[in-house]
Amino acid sequence: MGGFEAKRCRVTVDSLTVEVEGVTVLRDVGFEVDGGLTAFIGPNGAGKTTLLRVLAGILGHRGVVRVCGLDVRSARRISSYVPSFLQVDPYARVEDVIVAYLQGVSNPRSPEDVLESFGLARLRGRRFNSLSGGEHKLVLIAGALARNPSILLLDEPFSHLDLANQAKLARLLKAVSENLTVIAAVHEPFFASLADRVGILNSGRLIAFGSPGEVLRKNVLEEVYGVELEEVSLGSKTLVLPSL
């Protein structure tokens, strides 16, 4: 889907600290990934979005952050960032949003071709603001991927998606992460469990980083979220859900 070149790249973060208006939002964060799908999970305000914004080159920071061997500002030409929410001009069509994402790309694909290749041809000509929250996400991710980036940064990609679109997006991210580096901030432990690596952020600190099996442990999540959880087996998968 999408026709990507193999461009995965290494991301190195060391001693990353971010202060926003005098408040330390990220403190001494360090990790390294080399391609694949990496998910960051943690409570609201843990620093997930801040980390993505640093990697996207739009937030000042202290410490070392290298993306594909480049400093984050230089790496903006080879990265794509999708925020958790985006409001655009009320008259913007879906194609206009794709065209906006393709700015600065040499020989960009046509927006119609992009929509077609992501199975979104049915949205052609629609006003972006008239789409559902899930369709918003899919269009933005299609635009971001159409830039043919080396690294894709996604903030809450699964929010607002129905089950069918969650499955579609999960398959898409698994597929594209074989060829490029994907880093996503997610809320659901289930989606984090699909990643190659998972990081848990809590109060600006990276308290765990490793494979999903190592990191997504019930007792760790209970401590981080401050709620009682239970593990539910569903076929070969184990889901971690709040205990009600």
> Interface residues with other proteins (CB under 8 A)?
53, 56-58, 76-77, 79-83, 86-93, 95-97, 99-101, 103-104, 127, 129-130, 153
Q: Residue 117 or residue 129: which is nearer to other proteins going by CB? A: 129
Q: Residue 156 or residue 190: which is nearer to other proteins going by CB? A: 156
Pairwise CA distance, residues 185 & 199, whole Å: 9
Characterize 229-243 residue by residue with b for buried, 16 or more Cβ atoms within 10 angstroms of its Cβ, and e for exposed: beeeeeeeeeebeee
Q: Residue 101 or residue 118: which is nearer to other proteins going by CB? A: 101
Pairing mode of beta strands 229-234, 237-242: antiparallel
Pairing mode of beta strands 62-67, 37-41: unpaired
Pairwise CA distance, residues 181 & 176, whole Å: 8
Q: Residue 95 or residue 215: which is nearer to other proteins going by CB? A: 95
Pairwise CA distance, residues 60 & 8, whole Å: 25
Smallest distance, Å, CB 57 to other proteins? Answer: 7
Smallest distance, Å, CB 75 to other proteins? Answer: 10
Tokens 């070392």, located at residue: 64
Pairing mode of beta strands 197-202, 205-210: antiparallel
Q: Residue 58 or residue 175: which is nearer to other proteins going by CB? A: 58
Smallest distance, Å, CB 86 to other proteins? Answer: 6
Pairwise CA distance, residues 139 & 131, whole Å: 10
Instruction: Count the neighbouring beta carbons within 10 Å of the beta carbon of residue 45.
Output: 13
Smallest distance, Å, CB 101 to other proteins? Answer: 7
Smallest distance, Å, CB 189 to other proteins? Answer: 27
Smallest distance, Å, CB 129 to other proteins? Answer: 3
Q: Residue 105 or residue 227: which is nearer to other proteins going by CB? A: 105
